[in-house]
Chains A and B, each alone.
Chain A
Amino acid sequence: MIKNIICVSCPMGCPISVEIDDGTGEVVNVTGNTCPRGKAYAITECTAPVRMLTSTVKVKGGRTAMVPVKTSAPIPKGMMFDIMKEINSVEVSSPVKLGQVIIENVLNTGADIIATNDD
């Protein structure tokens, strides 16, 4: 299988083709990259893509209705929507401090959901 992706390691935005072995799921060949960073990005992106997830959590008695949150580490791309459900199921009370853990080890990803502002 060939996967076509655009590299985001720098503003160049190289179009990279990644050849993946259909049996093993392993990357056999990477073409289109102009630097080693592109190759590394392409391999991660095609084998175990991760993303930082940011969202908001309801806050009672705060300055605003919502407090912004993020994952403390990148999480598997495929889990974004499941983690969104977790985030949307909680509510916190003011005061919230920047860096405060809102959900610990969310869905066993090893990442916490932490507040990114005071409220």
Chain B
Amino acid sequence: MLNYDLAVIGGGPAGMAAALEAKENGVEKIIILERAAVLGGILEQCIHAGFGLHYFKEELSGPEYAHRFIELVEKTDIDVKVDTMVLTIEDNNIITATNNTDGLIQIKAKAIILAMGCRERPRGAINIAGSRCSGIMTAGTAQKYVNIDGYMPGHKIVILGSGDIGLIMARRMSLEGAKVQMVCELQPYSNGLTRNIVQCLDDMGIPLKLSCTVVAAHGKERLEGVTIADVDERLCPIPGTEKFVECDTLLLSIGLIPENELTRMAGISLDRITNGAVVDEYRQTEREGIFACGNVLQVHDLVDYVTIESKLAGKGAAKYIKGESFGGDYVETKGTDGVRYIVPQKINRDTDCDVNLYFRVGSVYKGAKLVVKCGDNVIMTKKRPRMCPSEMETVTIKKDIISSLPDGEALTVSVEE
């Protein structure tokens, strides 16, 4: 059995930032366990620019952003095991993992940070009718084929879902000579960042069809085309609007699922909306000493925010290891009237820091206000010229306000038009 102060599961941007912050806060023995062959996580294949504008105040590509953290990790005495798959987390913080060189290993850690990231929703999640021909894959799979393995998975493409990975791949495939026929989006609004709509679709002359979905896939060995249809307000296909679109490849960019198998196995309860753990302001889950950060906790738009969140988890784990804890009296947070969820879901009443609440709204709002309340007491209102589900929102609550909130009342955030 290996003994560590802190074990971080996942060596992507979340895991690296959390481990580094814990190190900076005096934690001595740290190990990062990474499933892939190298540190960096999904950033390895995100070769496009646009990372780091908030955190580093400069525009980097994914590999460059990752590289900055990999270099920092390499300068420390943080142990890293790559090609290593964590299998279980047991009650007493014993992690069982496996790899090709060590076989089966057990690691006992005082604290654990969960930073496993997320995966893409696959075809099975949306039940597209039709055959099981080749040529249907997630946008991220295509991204790996093109950017890492160096081959084109198709030449005539339809993309379902306007998530950022889908938009990025629309441009990438176009630049490599493919014809991207269209991007279909079920919702009446795009699910990607505005800059991606402009620079990935408009630049390449790719149409974005809103309120439109793929209802059938055609082809025997290889995909030959898809049937698209418009959808009504209830997102159901409208009979009579079906059209055949020729393509050899259908890319799916229809959402991300936090990879919480280990979290569930550890008996940690998940938020029904985020599909991530319920956490406090230092991202501690309901199991003392187990923290979660990054896309395994909530799907972020920008890696910059993953880094910021993960540093909180690293700091929290360091506090826990040093035996600094709070009274265990929590203020709960709750999104209402247009706010779908809030992370963190609870805040220590006697916390030592100002707390940023992160959340998403349920639809597009123009000129609306965010209202933070505790019971009937309005704590603050913030004007927001534009809010949409694809852009994460945040408000900061000062620690003095948190400590002065009345018992038994939740802190709520809502949208007022």
Contacts and interface: CB of A to CB of B under 8 A. Distances in A.
A51 interface: yes
Contact of B61 (A34, A54, A77): A54
A8 B150 contact: no
Contacts of B110: none
Given A55-B175, A58-B150, A68 B198 contact: no
Contacts of B391: 11
Contact of A51 (B149, B193, B194, B203): B203
B149 A8 contact: no
B197 A55 contact: no
B195 A70 contact: no
Interface string A75-119: 001001100100010000000001000000000000000001110
Interface in B311-326: none
Contacts of B49: 52, 54, 70
Nearest to B37: A63
Counting chain A residues whose Cβ lies within 8 A of the other chain, the interface size class is: 20 to 34
A60 to B, nearest CB: 12
B147 A98 contact: no
A66 interface: yes
B386 A66 contact: no
Given A12-B385, A70-B49, A81 B63 contact: no
Contacts of B44: 117
B373 interface: no
Interface string B128-157: 000000000000000000111110000000
A46 interface: no
Nearest to A53: B175
Given A11-B386, A70-B49, A116 B194 contact: no
Contact of B147 (A56, A70, A81): A56
Contacts of B60: 116
A20 interface: no
Given A52-B59, A56-B147, A66-B147, A13 B64 contact: no
A30 interface: no
Nearest to B146: A56
B194 A117 contact: no
Contacts of B176: 55, 84, 88
B152 to A, nearest CB: 11
Contacts of B193: 11
A116 B47 contact: yes
A5 B175 CA distance: 21
Interface in B18-52: 37-38, 44, 47-49
Contact of A98 (B67, B150, B386): B67
B59 A6 contact: no
Contacts of A80: 175, 203
A2 interface: no
B61 A68 contact: yes
A97 to B, nearest CB: 10
Nearest to A81: B175
Interface string A19-57: 000000000000000100000000000000001111110
A53 B172 CA distance: 10
Contacts of A117: 44, 63-64, 67
B319 to A, nearest CB: 33
Contacts of B59: 52
A98 B64 contact: yes
Contacts of B62: 68
Contacts of B64: 98, 116-117
B76 interface: no
A51 B175 CA distance: 13
Contact of A116 (B61, B148, B175, B195): B61
Given A8-B199, A63-B37, 4 more contacts: A54-B48, A69-B47, A98-B64, A116-B63
24 contacts: A8-B198, A8-B199, A12-B385, A51-B203, A52-B49, A54-B47, A55-B47, A55-B175, A55-B176, A63-B37, A65-B148, A65-B149, A68-B47, A68-B61, A68-B63, A70-B49, A80-B175, A80-B203, A84-B175, A84-B176, A88-B176, A116-B60, A116-B61, A116-B63
The 9 closest A-B pairs by CB, nearest first: A117-B63, A68-B47, A13-B194, A65-B150, A8-B195, A66-B150, A116-B61, A52-B49, A116-B64
